[in-house]
Structure 1
């Protein structure tokens, strides 16, 4: 079962495995969580506390990254719909 992006108990390692589009967000903030041996045990709450980041803003960035990686399908044109 895939956990939700904002599950407070979701370990960072699982978050990045399930939502790879979040990795650039960690890198943008110069966070060493990507590939860290502690990532299977730390959560977003832990990482934000460690790096002095505001959790709500950081979670918003993660959400935007995931949304941007999964664009809505392009609308079909009339010719395709006629088939």
Structure 2
């Protein structure tokens, strides 16, 4: 049985993130981020997206955790 990826893995591809925690997609869309459905999503992680969109990564990760009801 495959293990679920860790949300805190800094190398977790966005495409995997969206597949495992689909509720997080809405957080990206609310910020008008094009990551969901982007062809680069398999190669970018949350850190990359935050850099691209000039977001505070810690704050953004907290929003994602809330959306997916993660501790």
What do residues 5-53 of structure 1 show as CA deviations (whole Å, max 9, x unaligned)?
1211100000000000100000011000010000000000000000000
- Between 1 and 2, higher relative CO (CA 8 Å, sep ≥ 6) is seen in 2
List gaps (5 residues or longer) in structure 2. Answer: none
Structure-2 separation of matches of 1:16 and 1:25 = 11
- Give me the TM-score of the superposition, normalised by structure 1: 0.79
Q: Which runs of 4+ in 1 moved over 2 A?
A: none
Higher Rg of the two aligned structures: 1
Aligned equivalent of 1:51: 53
